[in-house]
Structure 1
Amino acid sequence: MKRNFMMAALTGTALVATSALAEDATLTVESWRNDDLTLWQDKIIPAFEATHPGIKIKFSPSAPTEYNAVLNSKLDAGSAGDLITCRPFDASLALYEAGHLAALDDMTAMGNFSDVAKSAWQTDDGSASFCVPMASVIHGFIYNKDAFAELGLDVPTTEDEFFAALETIKEDGNYIPMAMGTNDQWEAATMGYNNIGPNYWKGEEGRKALIAGEQKLTEEQWVAPYATLAKWADYLGDGFEAQTYPDSQNLFTLGRAAIYPAGSWEISGFNAQADFEMGAFKPPVRAAGDTCYISDHTDIGIGMNASTAHPEAAKAFLSWVASPEFAEIFGNALPGFFPLSNAPVELEDPLAKEFVSWRGECESTIRSTYQILSRGTPNLENETWGASAAAIKGTETPEALAEELQSGLASWYEPQQ
């Protein structure tokens, strides 16, 4: 009887311990993606918890504009969540260097990602990775299929075909050939310069050479994209200089423009707003037969708070984020945000499928200014905004713009001196 009592006591203790463990393994996720709350609550969390009993997930986002400040404050106070959603490059690198993010290189699941995918969340020398890549966005052009059919246009694959199509649309007069303004500047760089530019500087080859100081911004492959952007001005419609980003979105989705220089993040919004069929084409190559390059830009990752009380549970979740199951859920719930794992994902949205198909046809790279080169003053990313807008408006020559950018970069970045 005494033995039975002891066994019951031990069993009761085990139950309490199991219950306590389940409570202890509630992991909080910090994120700026507050518009993803429903996705996490309805799809991501139930899918993970179904196969990981005892680990509970709580998604706790902040407003995007407040995320960095809120997160840093929580980390300093020791109150941040167990899992940290990571912005690409320097913001997350600073968290790792401050000891707030744990290195994840011992996780087998990190082998599911390419070097390009991991580059946004690594130390400069690539010796440590501190966030699991979640998704990227891809650059290209979205077009109005009805307008193309009406005008008998084929999808352009070379720059000559691209400008011939723009000229045809302009001559017809029923559509603005291309919807983009220069008022907000960033679009000119993001959907302009860093959209078409990789075909000039050969993607990762040129980007890495710039970081190493082996190429300069005054060389032809970095100057020529500005000359091409200058040719866009004839096709952007009247008053493009004062046109904002939302203006451009509206012109396209209302059917008034035939082509939209795009990031794939537009897909969900455009699907909801446009009442015509859309297609997408990759940045046209300079000449037929050239290798194509796409900006497949690392956008979002997730890491582990180095101070979490539940490192094993946190790593279990991060390993799952690296799985095909997560990739399929995330890729289809947020079309245009493409999973970065090497596992093939069957996407349902036709526009998203078109964008992601380019990974099999072209070499992938990331935006040229995002890694290392925008840490100093002047900030190369912000300077590229202004330069791209100026190129389109024709207020400065491509050569003069390149000289200014190179001078600014060389003023603080030693490999370029």
Structure 2
Amino acid sequence: MKKPIIAAILATTALAGPALAQDPVTLTIESWRNDDLGIWNDTIIPAFEASHPNIHVEFAPTAPAEYNAALNAKLDAGSAGDLITCRPFDASLELYNKGQLADLTDLAAMANFSDVAKSAWQTDDGAHTFCVPMASVIHGFIYNKTAFDELGLQEPTTVDEFFAVLDKIKEDGTYIPMAMGTNDQWEAATMGYQNIGPNYWHGEEGRKALIAGTQKLTDEDWVAPFEQLARWKDYLGDGFEAQTYPDSQNLFTLGRAAIYPTGSWEIGVFRPQIGDAFEMGAFPPPVQNAGDTCYISDHTDIGIGMNAATAHPEEAKEFLEWVGSPEFAQLYGNALPGFFPLSNAQVTLDDPLAQEFISWRDQCESTIRSTYQILSRGTPNLENETWNASANVIRGTETPADAAARLQQGLESWYKPGEAAQ
């Protein structure tokens, strides 16, 4: 009598097994990019779900200013999503050190990323990686092609050519040569010092030497970018000292300035504002001498990791493997012009200006902003101090040598090379 009952149970189990296996799993993504909601819901998630029908993904962003605090609270309470969008460097490193982000070092897709791309989401020794790199922003100069054509100007490739172009624009008087102010300070460093600096300190070579203590901010390669910035003052137009970041954006988009020192993140902002008023072009930071190796700040901006407490680790890893794929790189790069996939995959971008920026990776060596890894953990904060120093140098209220000496003194007051302060 027992055999038919057992057979019935086994048959029921056999039928139930595949049905349960096909039950969809829902993964939730935490992010600060609430402006990307439509892109994820309309483009990225449908593409993933088409090839992974048993995994449903929900994008649940928080306002950028609230993200860190909200995410930390959710992680501590055990209510955070399965996938965590990662800010670069210390904020995400802290989550990993607390055991809240999973170690993804062995994820197969990690082979698709360079050491520079992964550096923002690794332990200080590079032994463990905890977020898949998603995108970077590239620094350079956007310019008004109409203005250049009117004045018979060519894209400069050397520092001397750069200043010759600025002189011609200033002499003509139709346009402000460059749109940048010093009121907000951060752009003087981000779009000034960190933009042109890598050509002087040789990108990763100098950045890593600064961390190792074999170079100092008072060395010539680190003072020289300040010396170039000091020369910018004559080309920024009247009242640049009080000019805010939005003011500079408006000067360029309204066609009043010829050159805008910036980063690729402006592409999506400028396109709808400029429309057909004029065509934009872009050139990388000019090198010191013709034939020199060029370096670009290809700065790691956003990654994505796995909540170590997720109930669906295998499905989360499937999604992360896909994020590291060429398919995702192509989708993301075109959905967000100016935010460039960090994958080694060859990507063709529809936006011609975005394609121009990303093409520099084939010509130049990539690096990241010099202050972002390790060196801004103490007080005074090197990143914030570099904002102030760059603005002062441009305004002429601090000499390049004095600014560099102040930064080095501040760094030495708390940072001892080889002792990464948490």
Range into which the TM-score falls when normalised by the shorter chain: over 0.9
Residue 169 of structure 1 corresponds to: 169
User: Given the alignment of the two structures, is residue 17 of structure 1 paired with residue 16 of structure 2, yes or no?
Assistant: no
Give, in whole Å, the separation in 2 of the partners of 1:381 and 1:416.
19
Q: One-letter code of the match for 1:179?
A: A
CA positional deviation for 1:18:
3.2
| Conserved? CA contact 1:156–1:162, under 8 Å | yes
The answer to whether the 8 Å contact 1:193/1:229 transfers is yes
1: distance between equivalents of 2:368 and 2:272?
28
Superposed, 1:156-305 pairs within 5 Å as 156-274=156-274, 275-305=277-307
- Give deviations 1:68-117, integer Å, cap 9, x for gaps: 00000000000000000000000100000010001111111100000000
Helix, strand or coil at the partner of 1:231: helix
Per the normalisation by structure 1, the TM-score is: 0.97
**Match of residue 387, structure 2, among 385, 388, 409:** 385
Per-residue deviation, 1:17: 1.7
Tell me the CA shift for residue 12 of structure 1. Answer: 4.9
2:21, 2:286 → 1: CA distance? 59
Aligned match of 1:125: 125
Aligned residue for 2:140, secondary structure, equals: strand
CA distance in 1, matches of 2:290, 2:44: 43
Query: What is the match of residue 366 of structure 2?
Result: 364
1:17 corresponds to which letter in structure 2?
Answer: L
Of the three residues 294, 305, 317, the one matched with 2:319 is 317
Structure 1 segment 29-68 matched on structure 2, within 5 A = 29-68=29-68
Distance of 1:271 and 1:40 partners within structure 2: 21
List aligned pairs for 1:68-87, cutoff 5 A.
Answer: 68-87=68-87
Structure 2 CA distance for aligned equivalents of residues 416 and 332 of structure 1: 41
* Alpha-carbon displacement from aligned partner over 1:153-184 (angstroms, at most 9, x marks no partner): 01100011100100100111110000000010
- Mapped to 2, the partners of 1:393 and 1:173 lie a distance apart of 21
In the TM superposition, what are the counterparts of 1:393-408 in structure 2 within 5 Å? 393-408=395-410
CA-to-aligned-CA distance 1:213-255 (integer Å, 9 cap, x gap): 0000011110111111011010000000110001100100000
Contact 1:102 1:306 in 2 (8 A): yes
Q: Aligned pair count?
A: 414
Please state if 1:326 is matched with 2:328.
yes
Q: Distance in 1 between matches of 2:316 and 2:20?
A: 19
Find the aligned partners of 1:179 and 1:18 in 2 and give their Cα distance. 58
Which residue is equivalent to 2:412?
410
Q: Which amino acid aligns with 2:133?
A: P
AA of the residue aligned to 2:404: A
Query: 1:152: which partner in 2?
Result: 152
Shift of 1:6: 5.2
Taking the aligned partners of 2:210 and 2:9, their CA distance within structure 1 comes to: 71
* Secondary structure class of the residue paired with 1:319: helix
CA distance in 2, matches of 1:129, 1:5: 49
Asked if 2 retains the 8 angstrom alpha-carbon contact of 1:267 and 1:351, the reply is yes
Q: 1:109·1:322 contact (CA, 8 Å) conserved in 2?
A: yes
Q: CA deviation at 1:128?
A: 0.2
Contact 1:86 1:301 in 2 (8 A): yes
| One-letter amino acid matched to 1:166 | L
Among 335, 338, 342, which residue is 2:337 paired with?
A: 335
Residue 2 of structure 1: CA displacement?
A: 5.7
- 1:238-289 deviations in whole A, cap 9, x for unaligned? 0001100011001000000000001100001111111210000000001111
Q: Quick check: 1:178–1:235 contact (8 Å CA) kept in 2?
A: yes
CA distance in 2, matches of 1:123, 1:202: 23
Q: What is the deviation of 1:14?
A: 3.0
1:216–1:416 contact (8 Å) kept in structure 2: no
CA deviation vs aligned residue, 1:279-330 (integer Å, no higher than 9, x gap): 0000000111111000000000000000011110000000000001100000
Provide the rounded CA distance (Å) in 2 between the counterparts of 1:26 and 1:2. 38
**In 2, are the aligned partners of 1:410 and 1:416 still within 8 Å (CA)?**
no
The whole-number CA distance in structure 1 between the counterparts of 2:391 and 2:408 is 17
Provide the rounded CA distance (Å) in 2 between the counterparts of 1:294 and 1:379.
24
1:90 is aligned to 2:90: yes
Give the ranges of 4+ consecutive aligned residues of structure 1 lying more than 6 Å apart after TM superposition: none
**Where in structure 1 are there 5+ consecutive unaligned residues?**
none
Letter in 2 for 1:143: Y
CA distance in 2, matches of 1:16, 1:156: 64
Q: Secondary structure of the equivalent of 1:140?
A: strand
Partner letter of residue 356 of structure 2?
A: E
> Deviations for 1:169-216, whole angstroms, at most 9, x for unmatched residues?
011111000000001000000000000000000000000000000000
Kindly indicate whether the alpha-carbon contact (under 8 Å) linking 1:113 and 1:340 is maintained by their aligned counterparts in 2. yes
Per the TM alignment, residue 415 of structure 1 is displaced from its structure 2 partner at its CA by 2.0
**TM-score, with normalisation over the residues of structure 2?**
0.96
Deviation at 1:346, TM superposition (A): 1.1
1:358-400 CA-partner distances (Å, limit 9, x unpaired): 0000110000000000000000000000000000000011111
> Residue 409 of structure 1 contacts residue 416 of structure 1 at CA under 8 Å; is this kept in 2?
no
How far the C-alpha of 1:416 sits from its partner, in A, is: 9.2
SS at match of 1:415: coil
Q: Which amino acid aligns with 1:330?
A: Y
